[in-house]
Amino acid sequence: MIDSLEFAEVEKKVFDQLKLGTKALQEIQKEMSIEAVEKLMEESREAIEYQDEISRMLGENLTSSDIADVDGEFDKLQAQMLQEQLSTVKTVQDKIEPVATEQVEETEQEEEEEEKQEERKKEVVVL
């Protein structure tokens, strides 16, 4: 009899868990209709086809004219990038140059002052 009661309790727990699982599954199914799944699958198929087309196009051999066009465009881009880099360097140089000139002038003035002080010390020692 005790075994039957224990087994009945286990069966009741299993039944309750199945009910909870069924309710959870039904809630998920409300959020995900068959039409939405079909639409998602169609969109995925189209995206795969599109990617396959791109891969096919990229895998084709280029003609010598295509290669010449690509090389020309590449050269233009390199020249443009070089010009931008030079312009950046010029801008930075314009900003740095006045500061560097001031520092050089200050250093020169300090050195002159030190030389004058050295000469004064020598004059004092000679006197």
Predicted confidence (pLDDT) per residue in 70-125, tens digit: 889 999 999 999 888 877 767 766 666 665 566 666 777 788 888 888 777 776 66
Looking at per-residue confidence, does 49 or 60 come out higher?
49
pTM above 0.85, yes or no: no
Tell me, yes or no, whether 14 and 46 share the same domain: yes
Range of the domain at 127: 64-127
Cα 75-79-82 angle, rounded to 5 deg:
140
| Residue-level pLDDT at 126 | 60
Mean pLDDT of the chain: 82
Q: List, in order, residues 6 or more apart from 70 with CB less than 8 Å away.
A: 62
| Residue-level pLDDT at 116 | 82
Tell me, yes or no, whether 50 and 20 share the same domain: yes
Tell me, yes or no, whether 55 and 98 share the same domain: no
What's the domain count of the chain? Answer: 2
Tell me, yes or no, whether 50 and 92 share the same domain: no
Tell me, yes or no, whether 54 and 71 share the same domain: no
What's the burial of 100, exposed, middle or buried (CB within 10 Å: 0-12/13-18/19+)?
Answer: exposed
End-to-end Cα spacing for the chain: 128
Looking at per-residue confidence, does 31 or 44 come out higher?
44
Whether residue 53 is predicted with pLDDT greater than 80 in this model: the reply is: yes
| Residue-level pLDDT at 47 | 95
